[in-house]
Amino acid sequence: MKEQIAKMKENSLKEIEKCIDEKQLNEVKVKYLGKKGELTVILRGMETLQPEERPIIGKLVNQVRDELETLLQKKENEFKRKELEKKLETENIDVTEPSKKIKLGTLHPITQIINEVEEIFLGMGYQIADGPEVEKAIYNFDKLNTPPDHPARDLQDTFYITENILLRSQTSPVQARVMETQKPPIKIICPGTVYRSDSVDATHSPVFHQIEGLVVDKNVAMTDLKGTLEMFAKKCLGENTKIRFRPHHFPFTEPSAEADVSCFVCGGKGCKVCKGEGWIELLGCGMVHPNVLKFCGISPEEYSGFAFGFGVERIAMAKFGIDDMRLLYENDARFLKQF
């Protein structure tokens, strides 16, 4: 058996040296070291040997196997090195060639408006507050002076998950949560996504974005509200922007008003953007209703406050001259890259 092992070793070494690629090398490896290889066959035949011969032959077989494996690995590394050298020679990279142009995106118009509004109010000393979009009815309605029989609580107007849990229809619940947990003075804005059961058209969407503001402190008056909104309008829409209040009704403010701004395109003369009126409806506002303060644990005899809220899409449409809200949601790069 020693002669058989020696002959096998001699033949395998010669065949390894003759290999010209990894494919041939692998075939030689299988021929001698595979499950049915010659060395394996020899090992299986050791049972025919005398007990005193088996350790000697076993040791010899292991030595030959180690030697073959070492040589096979060396040869394989050599082939890989040559292949790499060939690639380096044929696949040269010209580092002086102009690179491919990288297309950079821009912030979505809605995000741009939210960031701009946040910067304006942060500059006026406000803090940014956040809250859940899946909200409890008590925060979305009850604490905002909106009783169970109010039309806004109808199933046709609000997305209910359960009887007492819904998708918030406004960011006002954030105000209620802050008033409930924080003592005045309070000065916050609440940006976020809101949901209402509206049909999709040029000016409506069941999902849109809102920013609301709240100030609660001693001796807060309507004049403070108007001055704040005037400052915001000038910073956001231009220094020549004027603001006017129209009486309105909201259950969570009293008195309440709709705030319009002078058209920043025509200066109030009348144009396509303002539909010839010279004014653009911007937001709703008013003094915080005493009941709201009371429901949130704040004494209306000691404190007063004002609140306002507007749709981000409305500001974006007014500022960028967009006449269809749906354009903001279609993700058409041809439209979005303008901003």
Query: Could you tell me the two tokens for 299?
Result: 């004494």
Are 39 and 161 in the same domain?
Answer: no
Are 178 and 135 in the same domain?
Answer: yes
Are 84 and 187 in the same domain?
Answer: no
Q: What is the domain-level CATH number for residue 293?
A: 3.30.930.10
User: How many whole angstroms separate alpha carbon 280 and alpha carbon 274?
Assistant: 6
Pairing, β 186-195 against β 127-128: parallel
Is 218 part of any domain?
Answer: yes
Is residue 155 scored above 70 in pLDDT?
Answer: no
Is 145 part of any domain?
Answer: yes
User: How many whole angstroms separate alpha carbon 117 and alpha carbon 128?
Assistant: 11
Is 62 part of any domain?
Answer: yes
Are 165 and 259 in the same domain?
Answer: yes
Question: How do residues 4-16 score in pLDDT, each as one tens digit?
Answer: 777 778 888 888 8
- What's the pLDDT at 167? 95
| CA–centroid distance for 67 within its chain | 58
User: How many whole angstroms separate alpha carbon 287 and alpha carbon 252?
Assistant: 8
Are 53 and 160 in the same domain?
Answer: no
Is residue 219 scored above 90 in pLDDT?
Answer: yes
Question: How do residues 222-262 score in pLDDT, each as one tens digit?
Answer: 999 999 999 999 998 888 888 999 999 999 999 999 999 88
Is 97 part of any domain?
Answer: no
Percentage of the chain lying above the pLDDT 90 cut: 46
- List the domain range (segments joined by +) for residue 251: 109-336
Are 37 and 125 in the same domain?
Answer: no
Query: How many independent structural domains does the chain possess?
Result: 2
Are 135 and 197 in the same domain?
Answer: yes
Are 254 and 327 in the same domain?
Answer: yes
Average pLDDT over residues 72-100: 82
Question: How do residues 110-141 score in pLDDT, each as one tens digit?
Answer: 999 999 999 999 999 999 999 999 999 999 99
Is pTM beyond 0.85? Reply is no
Are 61 and 161 in the same domain?
Answer: no
Are 126 and 77 in the same domain?
Answer: no
Is 98 part of any domain?
Answer: no
Are 81 and 114 in the same domain?
Answer: no
Are 196 and 289 in the same domain?
Answer: yes
